[in-house]
Structure 1
Amino acid sequence: MKKYNTRAILASLLICGFVGMFSETALNIAMTNLMGVFQISAATAQWLTTGFLLTLGILMPMSGLLLQMFTTRQLFTGSLISLIVGTSIAALGFNFEMLMFARVLQAVGMGLLLPLMFNTILVIYPPEKRGAAMGFVGLVIMFAPATGPTIGGLLIEYLTWHYIFWFSLPFLIIGLLIGLKYLENVTDVTKPRIDLLSVALSTIGFGGVVFGFSKAGEGSEGWSSAVVVTSIVVGLIALVLFILRQNVMHNPMMNLSVFKYPMYVVGLLLVMSCMLIIMSSMIILPMFLQTGTGLSVFTTGLMLLPGSALNGILSPRMGSLFDKYGPKWLVIPGLVIVAVMLWFFTALSPASSGPLSWLCILGLWLG
C-alpha cells in the first residue's frame, strides 16, 4: 500500500469539513435575528437552510461521476474555493439575496468535499485503521453541527451574525493550504462519458423530493399543498426512472450494485437516521429554547454545549472501539439511548424546567 502523510491529509479534510458543517447549524441559531434584520418571514429565512440542503441533494449523487472526471486535488481545490468565496460573500452580506447566494456556493463546496473526504480516507488508511479514522470523521459530522449553536450564540450575543462567517474563514484557508501541500491524487481519472439523461433524472429526482419535504413545513396547507405533492411525486417518478436507467447502463453514473450488500444498506440507514436526528434537532432546539422558553441566544448556545462536547470527546474513542469490537455493541446501545431521549423530548414544553431540557439534550448527544 502506498505511503501517504495520513495525519496531514486527515487534518486538512477534517478542518474544512468541520467548518462547513459548523456554519450550517451556527446560522440556525441566528434565524430569529436574521428575520428582524432583513424583515423576512420565518418561511423565507428557512430557505437559507433549505437552499443549502437542496443544493447538496442535487450535487452529492453526482459525486461518483465527479470523482472519475477530476483528480483528488482538483476536486479538493474546487470545493475549498467555493467554500471560501461563499463564506466571504456571506460575511459581507447586507441583504437576504446576497446571503442566499453565498449559502448556495457553500453548499456546492460541501457537496464536493464530503464525498471526497470519505473516499480519500478509505484509500489512504488500511482496513484495520479505518474505524479510528472514521471516528474523527464522526467528530466532524456530529460534533461540528453541535458546536455551531454555542459558538454562533456567543458571536451573535456580543458581535453580529456576520462573524459566524468571519470566524470560519481563516480555518478554511488553513485547511486549503495544508491540503495543497500534502494531499495527493488517490483516485483514477477515467473520464467517463456523461449521460445527460441520468444527470437530469438525478437532479429532478433528488431535487424534487428535497424541495417537496422542505415546502411541506411552510404555510397552512402542509403536506396537502399541491406544490408539495407535485414536487414529491415528480421527484419519486424521476428517481424510479433514474434507478432503472442505472441498472441497464454499462457504466452507470451511480453504481447501485452496492445495495446488494446488507451491511452497506444497514450502515446507510443508520447514517441517514443519525443525520436526520442531528440536523432536525439543531434547527428545532434553538428556536424552541429562544422563542418557547425565552432564553437568550448565548444561553441557548450554552444549553447545547455539554452534549456537543461529550459527543466530540467520545467520537474518536468510538472509532477505536469499532476496530476492536465491531459495530454491533456500539450501535444497539446508542440507538436505545437516542430512542429514549427522543421520547422524553415529546414531553418538553415552554413550562419545562431548564435541567430537564438540558438532560434531554445531553442524553441525545450521548446516544
Structure 2
Amino acid sequence: MSAAAPPQAPPIPAVDEARVRLVLRVLTAAAFVVILNETLMLNALPPLMDAFDITASTGQWLTTGFMLTMAIVIPMTGWLLQRLSLRAAFLLAMSVFLTGTAIATIAPTFEVLLLGRVVQASGTAVMMPLLMTTIMTLVPKERRGRVMGNLTLAISVAPAMGPPVSGLILELGSWRWIFGLVLPIAVLMLVAGGRLLRGAEPGRSARLDVLSALLTALGFGGLVYGLSAFGEGAAGPVGPGWALGVGIASLALFVWRQLVLQRREDGSVFLDLRTLKVTRYLVPFALMCLAFMALIGAMLLLPLVFQEVRGFGTLASGLMLMPGGLAMGLLGPTVGRWYDKVGPRPLVIPGGVGLVASMSGMALLVQDAPWFVLVALHVGISLSLALLFTPCFTAGLGALPQKLYSHGSALLGTGQQVAAAAGTALVVTVMETRALQLMDEGVAETSATAGGVATGMLVGTGIAVGVLLLALGVRAPKDGDAPEGALEPQDKHGAYPEPVA
C-alpha cells in the first residue's frame, strides 16, 4: 500500500479575499475623508478672521495646532496599534475625528473651533498608520504594490481636492459647511467600517509608558511647533528657539528611553527604533521625508505666485493646483502594478530625475512663464512624486518584520510631519529673506515676491537632488535585513491574521 498523502491545509475561501478587499476600500475611503479635511481649511482663513474678529497670526493656529497634534499623536500609534484590534483602532480613530468635526461645525468661538481641529487631528493621526499596517498585514507581497498604489490615489487626490472644494463651499455658503458636509460622510464610514471589521484579531498586551508619552509630546511637539513658528509666524507664548531646544533635548531622552524599553520586550515601547537598523527601510524613509519637504515647498509657494504675483483668486488658484494632485493620484495604482512587476529601482530613479528637472524648471521660469507652464511643471512634480511615494512606502515597510509594521508606519507618519514643518520653515524663510533683500534694492513688491519664490524653488531643487541621490540606494525588500532579535514570531498575547492568498 502506498503511503497516505499528507493532509493539505484547506484553501482560503474566495469570500475571505473579497472581504479583505472591501475592508481595504472602506479604510482607504475613510482615509480620503480625514485627509481631505486637512486642506479644506486653506481657503477659509479670511472668512474666519471676519467671523471671529481675529488676526491672521491667530487664525494660523488652526493649521499649526492641527500639525502639532499630529506630530504628538502619530508616534503613539506604534504602541496603540499593537494594543488594540484593527476594529477597535478604526472605531477609535473615526469616532474621535467625528467628534472633532461636530465640535468645529457648531463652534461659537475661535477657541472652540481650535479645540475641534485638535480633536480632528487626533483621529486623523491614527488613520494613516492604521491603514498602512493593515495593508502590510493582510496583503501578500506580490500584490502590495497595487494596493499601496490605490492608497496613493486617496492620499494624493484628497489634498488636491481640498482647496477647490473649500473655495466652492465658501462661494455658496458659510464656513461651517466645510465641516457640516463632512459629518454625514464620516458617520457612514464609521458605521461601514464597524460592521466590516467584526471578528478582527484581538490586540496584544502592551503597557503604557507614561514617560515615553510625555517625551513624545515635548520632543516631536516642540520640534514641529518651533519649525512651524519660524516658517508661518504663528504667534504663541513660547519662542521658536526655546521650542526647538526643548524638542531636541526631549527627543534625545525619548530615543534613550525607547532603547531601554526595547530590551525589556514587554510591549511598552512607543516607537521601536530597530526599524532604523534595517537599511532597506531607512533609505526609503529618508527619501520620503525629503520628497515630502519638496512637495510642501511647491504647495506653499505656487499659490503665492498665482494669487500675489499673477492676481488670481483663491478658487482659481486651487483649481490650478488640482491637475497635479489628480495626476499623482491617478498614476498611483499604475505605479503600484509596475512595482509588483519590476520592483522599486526602475521607478524611483526616474522619479528622482523628474523631480529635479521639474523643480529646477519651476525655479527658472516661475517669474516670467505663463500660468499654464507653471501648472504643467506642477504636474511634472506630482508625477515624479507618484513614482517615488508608492515604491518607497511598499519597499520600506516590506523590508521590516511583521511585528515592526505598526512602528515603521508610525515613524513614516512622524517623519512626514517633521518634514512638513521643516519644509515650511525653510522655504518661507528663504522666500521672505530674498523678497526683503530685493525690496531694499528698490524692486517693486510684486516682483520681489516673485524673486523670493524663485529662490525658494531653487532651495527645493537642492532638496530634490538629495531625493535623487537617495533613490540610487533604494532596494527591493529581502529576507535577512531585519536586526537581531526583530524576527521572533508574534508573542503569546495574540497574532495578526495570515495574509490572504
Normalised TM-score (structure 1):
0.91
Equivalence map 1:298-309=2 (5 Å): 298-309=315-326
Structure 2 residue aligned with 1:241: 253
Report the equivalent of 2:284. Answer: 267
User: 1:111-150 residue pairs with structure 2 within 5 A?
Assistant: 111-150=125-164
Q: Which moved more, 1:57-66 or 1:276-285?
A: 276-285
Matching of residues 83-162 of structure 1 within 5 Å: 83-162=97-176
1:245 is paired with a residue whose SS is: helix
SS in 1 for 2:41: helix
1:333 aligns with 2:350: yes
Contact 2:156 2:326 in 1 (8 A): no
Q: Distance in 1 between matches of 2:296 and 2:234?
A: 23
Indicate which of 171, 179, 190 corresponds to 2:185: 171
After superposition, the Cα gap between the structure-2 partners of 1:150 and 1:226, relative to the gap in structure 1 and judged at 3 Å, is closer
Question: Residues 117-169 of structure 1, C-alpha deviation per residue, up to 9 Å, x if partnerless?
Answer: 11111111111111111111111222211121122222222333322223322
Q: Any residues of structure 2 matched to 1:1-367 within 5 Å, and which? A: 3=16, 5-184=19-198, 186-219=200-233, 227-249=239-261, 250-251=264-265, 252-347=269-364, 352-367=369-384
Aligned equivalents of 1:188, 1:256: Cα separation in 2 = 24
After superposing the two structures, state which structure 1 stretch, 11-20 or 161-170, moved more. 161-170
Task: Tell me how far 1:89 sits from its aligned partner.
Answer: 2.3
C-alpha separation in 1, matches of 2:281 and 2:200: 23
Q: Which amino acid aligns with 1:192?
A: A
Q: Which amino acid aligns with 1:125?
A: V
The one-letter amino acid paired with 2:260 is V
Residues in 2 aligned to 1:344 and 1:36: alpha-carbon distance in whole angstroms: 38
Separation in structure 1 between the aligned mates of residue 259 and residue 382 of structure 2, nearest angstrom: 39
Counterpart residue number, 2:397: none
Preserved CA contact (<8 Å) 1:58 1:203: yes
Given that 2:225 and 2:243 are in contact with CA atoms closer than 8 Å, whether structure 1 keeps it comes out as: yes
SS at 2:270 equivalent: coil
Output the CA distance in 2 between the equivalents of 1:278 and 1:363: 12
| Amino acid in structure 1 at the alignment position of 2:240 | V
Q: Which amino acid aligns with 2:282?
A: V
**Aligned pair in 2 of structure 1 residues 274, 38: CA closer, same or farther (>3 Å)?**
farther
Amino acid at match of 1:324: K
Contact 1:133 1:319 in 2 (8 A): yes
Asked which structure has the greater CA Rg, the reply is: 2
User: Which stretches in structure 2 are left out of the alignment for 5+ residues?
Assistant: 1-10, 385-501
Q: How far off its partner does 1:315 sit? A: 0.8
Paired letter, 1:143? V
Q: Give, in whole Å, the separation in 2 of the partners of 1:219 and 1:301.
A: 23
Shift of 1:35: 3.0
Task: Measure, in 1, the Cα distance between the counterparts of 2:344 and 2:211.
Answer: 38
Once the 2 structures are TM-superposed, how far is the Cα of residue 113 of structure 1 from its aligned partner?
1.3
Q: Deviation per CA, 1:201-240, whole angstroms, max 9, x where unpaired?
A: 122111110111011125599xxx9822221122111111
Query: Hey, what's the Cα distance between the residues in 1 that align with 2:341 and 2:225?
Result: 41
Residue by residue over 1:93-114, the C-alpha shift from the partner in whole angstroms, topping out at 9 and shown as x without a partner, is 3432222111101101111211
Output the amino acid matched with 2:222: G
Extract structure 1 runs of 4+ deviating beyond 4 A. Answer: 184-188, 218-221, 347-352
For the structure 1 residues 335 and 187, does the alpha-carbon distance in structure 2 shift closer, same or farther, using more than 3 Å as the test?
farther
Distance apart, 1:191 and its partner CA: 2.2
Supply the distance in 2 between the matched residues of 1:52 and 1:165 (Cα, whole angstroms). 15
Matched to 1:180, the amino acid is G
Q: Distance in 1 between matches of 2:254 and 2:238?
A: 24
Cα distance in 2 for partners of 1:155, 1:296 equals 14
Distance 2:54 2:362 in 1: 29
The answer to whether the Cα contact below 8 Å between 1:293 and 1:351 also exists between their aligned partners in 2 is no
The one-letter code sitting in structure 2 at the alignment partner of 1:231 is: A
What is the alpha-carbon distance in structure 2 between the residues aligned to residue 289 and residue 33 of structure 1? 20
Identity of aligned residues (%): 35
> Shift in Å at residue 276 of structure 1?
2.9
Question: Structure 1 stretch 46-55 or stretch 95-104: which is displaced more?
Answer: 95-104
Cα distance in structure 1, aligned partners of 2:326 and 2:208:
44
**Aligned mates of 2:213, 2:183 — CA distance in 1:** 32
Contact 1:153 1:297 in 2 (8 A): yes
Higher normalized helix content (fraction of residues): 1
Q: Supply the distance in 1 between the matched residues of 2:304 and 2:44 (Cα, whole angstroms).
A: 9
Cα contact 1:56–1:107 (8 A) shared by 2: yes
Task: Give the whole-Å Cα distance in 2 for the aligned partners of 1:138 and 1:354.
Answer: 27
Secondary structure at the residue paired with 1:216? helix
How many aligned residue pairs are there? 364
Q: Secondary structure at the match of 1:191?
A: coil
Whether contact under 8 Å (1:152, 1:301) holds in the other structure is no
Q: Give the partner amino acid of 1:68.
A: Q
Q: CA deviation at 1:284?
A: 4.1
